[in-house]
Amino acid sequence: GENVEQHPSTLSVQEGDSAVIKCTYSDSASNYFPWYKQELGKGPQLIIDIRSNVGEKKDQRIAVTLNKTAKHFSLHITETQPEDSAVYFCAAPTSYGGSQGNLIFGKGTKLSVKP
């Protein structure tokens, strides 16, 4: 089955700096990789995702890169702001018979952006 490892578990940056969170996965058949942001006391919110037919996707200050050969993908946040402070989760699907299964989540990264 799929196994997702996420690093680091905590990350503290100064406002305006960049933040990078990395995840590795084990199932080479996985083809969809979302990133979620969870603020305290709220449900996870999808912020960006990438599919295996592209290597990079960008949405304003957020970007995700995917290396299928190495089986890792990363979240990049540039020009960080205090409101970016939250817990970020990466995920990858299990695959059953080629169709998408349940998402397997990393353990999360607590990002703190200091003003």
Partner 1 sequence: GAVVSQHPSWVICKSGTSVKIECRSLDFQATTMFWYRQFPKQSLMLMATSNEGSKATYEQGVEKDKFLINHASLTLSTLTVTSAHPEDSSFYICSARDGTRYNIQYFGAGTRLSVL
The residue among 49, 27, 45, 37 whose CA lies nearest residue 101 is 27
Question: Which of the stretches 17-25, 61-69, 75-83, 101-109 binds partner 1 when contact is defined by CB under 8 A?
Answer: 101-109
Count of residues in contact with partner 1, rule CB under 8 A: 20
- The answer to whether 85 contacts partner 1 (rule: CB under 8 A) is no
Binding to partner 1 (CB under 8 A): which residues in 20-49?
32, 34, 36, 41-46, 49
User: Cα angle vertex 47, ends 70, 69, to 5°?
Assistant: 10
- The answer to whether 103 contacts partner 1 (rule: CB under 8 A) is yes
Looking at the chain, the number of H-run helices and the number of E-run strands are 0, 11
Dihedral over Cα of 24, 18, 14, 48: its sign: negative
Give the residues lining the site for partner 1 (CB under 8 A).
Answer: 32, 34, 36, 41-46, 49, 51, 89, 93, 100, 102-103, 105-108
